[in-house]
C-alpha cells in the first residue's frame, strides 16, 4: 500500500476517462483495477498419486500382495512429502552449512554447523527406512525397487539429503558384500537402522588433489599400520561430500616397513573410519574449508586433512578399487534416481503452470506449441524412469540370488549407460522446463533455479559422461562380447512382445533398423579396443541407452491395459535417431584423421 505511482505533470484531466487514468495512477499499485500484475503459483499434489507412470509400472510388475502394501505406504509417504518434507527441503536451501574453524577463545574446533531442517531430514530418512528397506528384504527381490521408488519420490523434496543417502547405501552395500565382518557388524546396523537416534550416514572420500576419477594415479593418502592392527591415515582429501557424516569409506596406499607404497591401482586398499569419536571430536582430521559450489549448497562439501586418522582396513591389501566398486554401482544408481526425480518435478511444475498462466488471451495449455514442448520433455522422463526401474529390478534379482548370468551381464552394462544418459537428459530437461515459466523461471525465490543448479552436477558426480562411456567399453571387453550378445537378445525379446500391438509397428521397425546399424558398426570396429572405439565411446553409449529405452517404452505400451499415452511415448521416443554411433561412423568421425582434426579444431585457431 505504500507503493504509489509518481506524479504526472503536464496533463489536464478534463474528461472522465482522463480523470479515471489519473486516479488509477494515484492508487496503490496492488489495488488498481486496470492492471493484472500477479501470476498464480503452480501447486502440485501428492507426488505418488499424481505420477500415473509410476503407479502403472508398480501395478504391472509387483505381486498383488506386495502392491497392496506398497501402495498404501507410498500414498501416506506422498502426503508427508507434500505437507512436511518439502518445506524442510526449502529451509535447507535457505540455511546452508557454515564452517566455524575457531571458537570465541581462539581454540580450533573445525565445526560444520548444519540447520535443524537438515538434521531433521536425517531422522526422516531413518523413519522411512530409505536405506533399511533395501537390506531388510521384506519383499524379496522387489525390496530394492521399492526403496528406489521411495528415494525417487523423496529426492526433489530432500533439500540435498539424497546425496548422503547415496553414499550411506553404497557403504552398506560394500560391508554386506564383504560378508558383514564382525568388526563392521555394528556399523552396518547403524547404516541400515530405522531408529533416528541410531542411524548413521556415510561419506565416500576418494577425490584428491591430483585426480577425480583417476584414483589409481591420483590417490596420495598413505596408511601406516599400528601395533594394534589398526591404521593411521595421512593425506589430503580435495572433495568430500556430506562432510558432516558419521563414518566414511576411503582409499589409501599402505606403506611398508621402509615407508614405500605401491603405485597404481594395485597399491590401493579400502578403509573404514569414524569421522568423530564418542565425544564428538574429529578423528585427527582438520577441515580446511567448505567448497563454494554452483549447486547442492544445502550439503557440506569440504577439503579435509587426514593427520593420523584412525581407520580399519576392510579390503584385502591392494584390492581397494575392486572392493569399492559395489559402492560406485549403488551411488551411480542413486544418481539416476536424482536425475529422473528432478525431471519429473520440473515437468510437473511446468504442466501445472500451463493450467494457470494466461498469455495472449488464453491459457498456456491451449497453445499447441507450448504443449508440444512439454510433451517432448514428458517423453524423455518416461524413458528415463523405465530405464531406472529396469536397473533396480535387475539389482533386486542380483541381491537375492535370483539373477541369471544374463541378468548380471545386463546390469553391469546398464548401470553406466543409465547414469551417463540420464545425467545429460536431466540437465536438458531442467533448462527447457525453466524456459516454460518465462522470466519467473529465472527468479531465485520460485525454487526453479535451485533445481537447475542441483541437476547440473549429475553428469559430473560418480564419473563424467566420457569416463562412464569408457567404462561401458570395459564391460564389453571384460565379458569378451557376451554382454553385447545379451543386450541384443534382450531387446529382440521386447520387440517380439511389442509386435502384438499394431500401433507400435513403426517403433519396432525403427528399433530393428537401429539394432542392425549397431551390429554393423561393432563388426566393422572389431573386437579389440582401438582408437575408433574410444572416439566412438560416447555415441556408442548413447545408442545403447536410446535403443534399450525404446524397447522398454514399447514393452510398457504393449502390456494389457496400456493407454494411448504409453503408445504415443514409445512412438515418439523411437522416432529420434536411435543409433547415432552409426551415423557418425558414416561421416568418418572415429578414425585417426578425425582425432587429428579434433585437436586442430580445439587448438589450431582460425
CA nearest to 151, candidates 129, 170, 135, 171: 129
Enumerate the β-bridge partners of residue 574.
none
Across the chain, how many H-helices and E-strands are there? 21, 12
| Sequence-ordered list of residues with C-beta below 8 angstroms from that of 453, at least 6 positions apart, any chain | 294, 295, 296, 297
* Model pLDDT, residue 496: 96
Give Rg (Cα) of the chain.
27
Q: Are the CB atoms for 224 and 232 separated by under 8 Å?
A: yes
Contacts 24+ apart (CB under 8 A), 559-563: 559/60, 562/501, 563/56
Angle at CA of residue 288, ends 286 and 289, nearest 5°:
130
Spatial CB neighbours of 316, under 8 Å, sequence gap ≥ 6: 269, 323
* Spatial CB neighbours of 241, under 8 Å, sequence gap ≥ 6: 163, 164, 167, 203, 204, 296, 299, 301
373 Cβ neighbours under 8 A, 6+ residues apart: 432, 436
Q: In this predicted model, what pLDDT tens digit does every residue of 231-248 receive, in sequence order?
A: 999 999 999 999 999 999
Could you please state the CATH topology (level 3) that the domain comprising 202-320 is classified under. Answer: Butyryl-CoA Dehydrogenase, subunit A; domain 2 (2.40.110)
> Vertex 99, ends 96 and 105: CA angle to 5°?
140
Tell me the CA distances in angstroms from 91 to 112, 116, 152, 187, 450, one per residue in order: 17, 9, 20, 30, 12
**Distance, CA of 300 to chain centre:** 18
Phi/psi for 399 (5° steps) reads -75, -15
- Contact yes or no for 250/233 (Cβ under 8 A): yes
DSSP assignment letter at 157: T
305 exposed, middle or buried (CB, 10 Å; 0-12, 13-18, 19+)? middle
SS (H, E, C) 382-438: HHHHHHHHHHHHHHHHHHCCCCCHHHHHHHHHHHHHHHHHHHHHHHHHHHHHHHCCH
SS3 80: helix
Residue 188: phi and psi, rounded to 5, are -60, -40
CA 74, 79, 84, 90 dihedral sign is positive
pLDDT of residue 486: 98
Q: Which residues, in sequence order, are CB contacts of 172 under 8 Å at separation 6+?
A: 131, 134, 135, 188, 191, 192, 202
Q: Which three cell numbers stand for residue 75?
A: 500414498
Give tens-digit pLDDT for 123-159: 999 999 999 999 999 999 999 999 999 999 999 999 9
With left for phi above 0 and alpha for psi between -120 and 50, is residue 397 left, alpha or beta? alpha
Nine-digit cell string for 49 = 498419486
C-alpha–C-alpha distance, residues 347 and 430, integer Å: 8
- CB-CB contact of 555 with 494 (8 Å): yes
C-alpha cell of residue 3: 507503493
Which pLDDT belongs to residue 278? 87
Q: Where are the domains of the chain?
A: 49-192, 202-320, 465-605
Which residues, given as ranges, of the chain have pLDDT below 50?
1-15, 18, 21-22, 25, 34, 37
Which residue's C-alpha cell is 514393452? 555
Quote the pLDDT of residue 214. 84
Considering only CA atoms, which of 272, 285, 263 is closest in space to residue 214? 263
pLDDT of residue 527: 67
Neighbouring-strand partners of residue 304: 237, 287
Q: Residue 530 has what pLDDT?
A: 83
Grid cell at residue 499: 509386435
> Can you give the pLDDT at residue 170?
98
Please say whether the beta carbons of 586 and 452 come within 8 A.
Answer: no
Q: Are 168 and 174 in contact (CB under 8 A)?
A: no
Give first-to-last CA distance, the chain, whole Å: 59
- Cell 565445526 appears where? 111
Amino acid at each position: 500500500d505504500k507503493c504509489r505511482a509518481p506524479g504526472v505533470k503536464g496533463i489536464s484531466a478534463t474528461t472522465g476517462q482522463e480523470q479515471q487514468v489519473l486516479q488509477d495512477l494515484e492508487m496503490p499499485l496492488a489495488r488498481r483495477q486496470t492492471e493484472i500484475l500477479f501470476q498464480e503459483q503452480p501447486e502440485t499434489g501428492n507426488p505418488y498419486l499424481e505420477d500415473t507412470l509410476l503407479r502403472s509400472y508398480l501395478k504391472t510388475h509387483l505381486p498383488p500382495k506386495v502392491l497392496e502394501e506398497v501402495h498404501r505406504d507410498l500414498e501416506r509417504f506422498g502426503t508427508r512429502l507434500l505437507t512436511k518434507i518439502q518445506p524442510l527441503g526449502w529451509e535447507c536451501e535457505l540455511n546452508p552449512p557454515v564452517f566455524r574453524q575457531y571458537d570465541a577463545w581462539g581454540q580450533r574446533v573445525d565445526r560444520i554447523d548444519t540447520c535443524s531442517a537438515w538434521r531433521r531430514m536425517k531422522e526422516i530418512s531413518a523413519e522411512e527406512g530409505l536405506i533399511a528397506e533395501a537390506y531388510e528384504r521384506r519383499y524379496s527381490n522387489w525390496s530394492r525397487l521399492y526403496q528406489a521408488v521411495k528415494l525417487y519420490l523423496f529426492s526433489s523434496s530432500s533439500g540435498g539429503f539424497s546425496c548422503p543417502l547415496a553414499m550411506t547405501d553404497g557403504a552398506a552395500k560394500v560391508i554386506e558384500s564383504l560378508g558383514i565382518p564382525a568388526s563392521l557388524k555394528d556399523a552396518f546396523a547403524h547404516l541400515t537402522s530405522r531408529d533416528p537416534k541410531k542411524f548413521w550416514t556415510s561419506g565416500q572420500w576418494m577425490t584428491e588433489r591430483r585426480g577425480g576419477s583417476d584414483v589409481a594415479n591420483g590417490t596420495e593418502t598413505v596408511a601406516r599400520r599400528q601395533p594394534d592392527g589398526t591404521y593411521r591415515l595421512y593425506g589430503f582429501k580435495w572433495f568430500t561430500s556430506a562432510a558432516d557424516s558419521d563414518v566414511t569409506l576411503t582409499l589409501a596406499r599402505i606403506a611398508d616397513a621402509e615407508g614405500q607404497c605401491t603405485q597404481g591401482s594395485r597399491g590401493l586398499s579400502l578403509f573404514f573410519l569414524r569421522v568423530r569419536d564418542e565425544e564428538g571430536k574429529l578423528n585427527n582430521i582438520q577441515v580446511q574449508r567448505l567448497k563454494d559450489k554452483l549447486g547442492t549448497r544445502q550439503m557440506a562439501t569440504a577439503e579435509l586433512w587426514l593427520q593420523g586418522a584412525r581407520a580399519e582396513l576392510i579390503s584385502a591389501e591392494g584390492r581397494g578399487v575392486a572392493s569399492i566398486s559395489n559402492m560406485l554401482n549403488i551411488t551411480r544408481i542413486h544418481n539416476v534416481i536424482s536425475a529422473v526425480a528432478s525431471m519429473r518435478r520440473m515437468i510437473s511444475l511446468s504442466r501445472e503452470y500451463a493450467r494457470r498462466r494466461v498469455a495472449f488471451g488464453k491459457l498456456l495449455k491451449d497453445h499447441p506449441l507450448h504443449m508440444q514442448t512439454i510433451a517432448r520433455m514428458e517423453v524423455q522422463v518416461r524413458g528415463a524412469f523405465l530405464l531406472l526401474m529396469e536397473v533396480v529390478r535387475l539389482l533386486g534379482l542380483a541381491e537375492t540370488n535370483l539373477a541369471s548370468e544374463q541378468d548380471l551381464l545386463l546390469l553391469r552394462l546398464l548401470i553406466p549407460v543409465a547414469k551417463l544418459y540420464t545425467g545429460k537428459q536431466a540437465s536438458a530437461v531442467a533448462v527447457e522446463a525453466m524456459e516454460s515459466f518465462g522470466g519467473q523461471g529465472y527468479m531465485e525465490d520460485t525454487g526453479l533455479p535451485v533445481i537447475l543448479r542441483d541437476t547440473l552436477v549429475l553428469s559430473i558426480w560418480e564419473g563424467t559422461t566420457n569416463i562412464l562411456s569408457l567404462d561401458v567399453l570395459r564391460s564389453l571387453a571384460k565379458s569378451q562380447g557376451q554382454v553385447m550378445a545379451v543386450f541384443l537378445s534382450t531387446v529382440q525379446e521386447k520387440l517380439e512382445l511389442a509386435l502384438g500391438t499394431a500401433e507400435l509397428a513403426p517403433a519396432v521397425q525403427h528399433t530393428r533398423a537401429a539394432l542392425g546399424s549397431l551390429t554393423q558398426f561393432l563388426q566393422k570396429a572389431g573386437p579389440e579396443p582401438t582408437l575408433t572405439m574410444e572416439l566412438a565411446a560416447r555415441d556408442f553409449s548413447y545408442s545403447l541407452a536410446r535403443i534399450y529405452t525404446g524397447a522398454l517404452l514399447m514393452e510398457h505400451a504393449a502390456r494389457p491395459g496400456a493407454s494411448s499415452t504409453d503408445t504415443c511415448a514409445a512412438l515418439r521416443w523411437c522416432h529420434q535417431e536411435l543409433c547415432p554411433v552409426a551415423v557418425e561412423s558414416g561421416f568418418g568421425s572415429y578414425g585417426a584423421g578425425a582425432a587429428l582434426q579434433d585437436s586442430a579444431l580445439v587448438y589450431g585457431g582460425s
